[in-house]
Amino acid sequence: MPSLLIVDDEPSVLTSLTFLFKRHGYDVLAAEHPEKALEQVASLRDIGSLGVVISDYRMPTMSGIELLHEIAKFAPEAKRILLTAKSDLVTVMDAVNEGGLYRFLTKPCSYELLLRTVEEAFLVFNSAQENRQLNEELRQANIQLRSLSKKLEARVEHTTKELRAAIYFDRLTGLPSIELMHDRLAVAIQSAIRSAQTITVIYIGIENFSLINENLGHKIGNDLLCAFAARLEALIWEGDSAGRMHGDRFALIISNTAPGEPANELITRLLGLLQQPFQIGEQQIYLDANFGIAFFPEDGSSPQALLSHAEVAMHQARKDPDASYRFYSEDINRQSNERFILHSQIRAALENGEFKVHYQPRINVITGKIIGVEALLRWQHPERGLLPPAEFLYALEETGLIRQAGEWVLNEVCKSVVEWQAEVGHSLHVAVNVSPIQLKAGDFRDLVEKAIEHSKLDLSKTTLELEITENIFLSDMEQVREQLNSLRQMGIKIAIDDFGTGYSSLSYLIKLPIHYLKIDRTFVIDITKSRDAKAIVRAITSLAQSLRLQVVAEGIETEDQLEAMRTLDCEEFQGFLFSRPVSADAMRQLLIANSRNDSSNGKLFKNQDNSEEQFYV
C-alpha cells in the first residue's frame, strides 16, 4: 500500500492529522519539519511507494512549495497537497498553475474535505501507477514480441531455405529436381539466344527399374539411383546440369554447344556410362537405359517443349529394340505427323472403298487339300500400293475405325464364301481375324448375326471361325467369356491366333469355348533347326489333343517344316509353301482347281501362281 507523508511544524496539527489518517487505514509518515521530511523520503526503500504528500506552507526553514518541489525530484509521481492560510493564496495558486501541486487546501479545512482530497489523490496516484505498470508490461510485451518476431523471421527464413532445397533438389540423389531443371533450362535458353548457341537436352529413362526394386529391394534400388546420379554428374562439365525428373527418369542440360556441333561425343560417353556394372554392396548390377535428345532452338523454344520432346524421343528409343537413343527432330516429328496423316487417310479409305480382303488357303496336312481360307485385310493405297495390316491396323485400332472395317470384312467374307460354296459344292472353312476392340464392343454378336443373315451363309455347310489373340484375356475375362459363349451358341468356332506368343495363363483354354490353336510362325521357322522349338510345338499339339482342340500351323514355307509338322500330329497348316494370300478372285479359282484335283495320293497341291501383289512399304 502506498504511504502518505504529512509535514507540519505545528505539532498539534501533525499529531491530529496523523491520527486521523491512520484511523482511516492509511500508512502515514509524519515529519515535523522539511528536513525530516526529505530524510524520510530519502530513506524510503521504494520511492514509488510514496503516494501522497500533505505539507504545510509556512515553515521556518523552507516553504511548503519549496519542500514539495524538492520531494518531486525524488518522487515525481507522488501527489502533492499544500495546506495554506488564505493570505498566501496568490503564491500558492501560481505554484498550482505551474503544475507543481496536485491541490491546495486553505486552513482551516474540514477533515471531510481533507479526507476526500487525499482519497482522490490516492485514486489518481494509484491509477497512474497502474497505467505505468500497464505501460511497462506493454513495453515488456513489445520487447518480447520483437524478439519473438525476430526468431520467427529467422525460422521462416530457415524453413524457406529448406523448402527451396526440397523443391529444387531431389532428396535422394541431391541432383536438381524437375523444377530447378525447368528454371535452369529457362536461363540457359536466354543466354543461348544472346550468344547464338544451341542447347542439347537429353532425357534418360532407366529400363526395368521396377524389377530391380521388386527383386533386390528398395534400399538397393535407391543406392543404385544415387550411384547412377553420381555417374551422370561426373559426366557433365561445370555449368551444365544433370537432374532427376522423377523415379527412374533423369535429364541433362548441355548448354553452349555451337550450332551444328554433333552430340555424338556426348552420346558415346553416355552409353559408356552403362558399360561398367554398378557395385551396390555385394551386388554387381548392370543398368540399361534409353536416351531421347532434343535441341534448342530446333526442337522447341521453351523448357517444357524441349524436355517433353526429349522425353518423347526417349519413349521412341524404348520401343525400338535396336536403338538406345533417338533424336527428337530426326524422325519423331515426322512419325507423329505421319500418324496424323494416316489417321485422316484411313478414314477416307474406308469411305472410298480402298480396303480389300485377300485370302490364304488352309490345307489339310494329310490330304494336301484346301479345307478353308483365312481372310486377311489389305489396303489398296492410292500412292503407296497394296499395304499389309502391319502398316495400318494400329491406326484403325487407334481411331476406333476397326469396328467399321471389321464389320465390312465380315460382310465381304460371308458374301464371297457363299458364292464359292455354290461353285465347289463341298463344305468350306473360313477364318476371320477379330481385334479385341471389336470383340469388346457390345454389338459384335449382332454384327456377326447380320452378316450371316444378309449373305445367307449356311453354317451347316460353312464353318465360320473367328480368330482372336491371347492378349484379349488380359482384359475383362467375364465379358470375353460371355461374348464367346454367345457366339458359340450361334454355331461359330473360335481359334486362338499366334498361340504361344501371348502372356496369359493357359487356364482360359479350359474355361472358354475354343476349338483351334494356331501355332505362331515363330515356332515353325525354327522347327527343323532347333530342338527347343520342336519341343514347344510337340507340347502344344499334345496339350491340344488332350483338350480336344485342333491345331493349325502358321507360316509353313518349306517342305521340311511341313514334314516336321506331320510327324508332330499337326492337322492343318497355312503358309507360303502352298500359297500366299491372294485376291478373292484368285482364291475362287484356286478353290475350284483344288476341288477338281484328286490328291488322294497325298501329293501336295500348290498354288501355281504363288504371288501376292507386291507390298510397297
Question: At closest approach, how far in Å is the CB of 289 from ligand C2E?
Answer: 32
| Interaction partner, residue 189 (ligand C2E, Mg ion, none; CB < 5-8 Å by kind) | none
Pick the closer one to ligand C2E by CB: 251 or 552: 552
CA distance 184 to 205: 20
Pick the closer one to ligand C2E by CB: 481 or 521: 521
CA distance 373 to 124: 118
Q: Are β-strands 3-7 and 50-56 bridged in parallel, bridged antiparallel, or unpaired?
A: parallel
On the CB side of 272, how many CA atoms lie within 13 Å of its CA?
Answer: 8
| Interaction partner, residue 390 (ligand C2E, Mg ion, none; CB < 5-8 Å by kind) | ligand C2E
Question: At closest approach, how far in Å is the CB of 554 from Mg ion?
Answer: 5
Pick the closer one to ligand C2E by CB: 241 or 607: 607
Q: Which residues pair with 466 in a beta bridge?
A: 432, 494
Question: At closest approach, how far in Å is the CB of 413 from ligand C2E?
Answer: 9
Pick the closer one to Mg ion by CB: 170 or 554: 554
| Interaction partner, residue 435 (ligand C2E, Mg ion, none; CB < 5-8 Å by kind) | ligand C2E
288: three-class secondary structure by DSSP = coil
Residue 296 contacts residue 198 (beta carbons within 8 Å): yes
| Interaction partner, residue 205 (Mg ion, ligand C2E, none; CB < 5-8 Å by kind) | none
Question: At closest approach, how far in Å is the CB of 434 from ligand C2E?
Answer: 6
| Interaction partner, residue 557 (Mg ion, ligand C2E, none; CB < 5-8 Å by kind) | ligand C2E
| Interaction partner, residue 581 (ligand C2E, Mg ion, none; CB < 5-8 Å by kind) | ligand C2E
For 151, the grid coordinates are 526468431
| Interaction partner, residue 257 (ligand C2E, Mg ion, none; CB < 5-8 Å by kind) | none
CA distance 70 to 60: 16
Which stretches of the chain bind Mg ion, using CB under 5 A? Answer: 433, 467, 497-498, 554
Question: At closest approach, how far in Å is the CB of 222 from ligand C2E?
Answer: 43
Pick the closer one to Mg ion by CB: 497 or 612: 497
Q: Cα dist. 570→119, 364, 521 in Å?
A: 125, 9, 14
Q: Cα dist. 70→16, 64, 76, 131, 354 in Å?
A: 25, 10, 10, 24, 121
| Interaction partner, residue 389 (Mg ion, ligand C2E, none; CB < 5-8 Å by kind) | ligand C2E
Instruction: Compute the C-alpha angle 325/327/330, nearest 5°.
Output: 135
H/E stretch holding 186: helix 178-195
Pick the closer one to Mg ion by CB: 88 or 497: 497
Which stretches of the chain bind ligand C2E, using CB under 6 A? Answer: 360, 376-377, 388-390, 393, 406, 409, 433-435, 467, 497-498, 521, 554-557, 574-576, 581
Question: At closest approach, how far in Å is the CB of 410 from ligand C2E?
Answer: 9
CA distance 84 to 63: 10
CA distance 480 to 445: 12
CB-based contacts of 403: which residues, under 8 Å, 6+ apart?
437, 438, 441
Pick the closer one to ligand C2E by CB: 41 or 376: 376
N- to C-terminal Cα separation, the chain: 110
| Interaction partner, residue 434 (ligand C2E, Mg ion, none; CB < 5-8 Å by kind) | ligand C2E
Question: Whose CA is closest to 301, among 202, 168, 203, 188?
Answer: 188
Q: Are β-strands 355-364 and 325-327 bridged in parallel, bridged antiparallel, or unpaired?
A: unpaired
| Interaction partner, residue 360 (ligand C2E, Mg ion, none; CB < 5-8 Å by kind) | ligand C2E
Pick the closer one to ligand C2E by CB: 303 or 406: 406
Q: Please report the DSSP string for 428-494 in residue order.
A: EEEEEE--HHHHHSTTHHHHHHHHHHHHT--TTTEEEEEEEEGGGGGS-HHHHHHHHHHHHHTT-EE
Question: At closest approach, how far in Å is the CB of 605 from Mg ion?
Answer: 22
Question: At closest approach, how far in Å is the CB of 387 from ligand C2E?
Answer: 9
Question: At closest approach, how far in Å is the CB of 374 from Mg ion?
Answer: 6
Question: At closest approach, how far in Å is the CB of 436 from ligand C2E?
Answer: 9
Pick the closer one to Mg ion by CB: 257 or 433: 433
Pick the closer one to Mg ion by CB: 56 or 554: 554
CA distance 190 to 434: 54
CA distance 137 to 132: 8
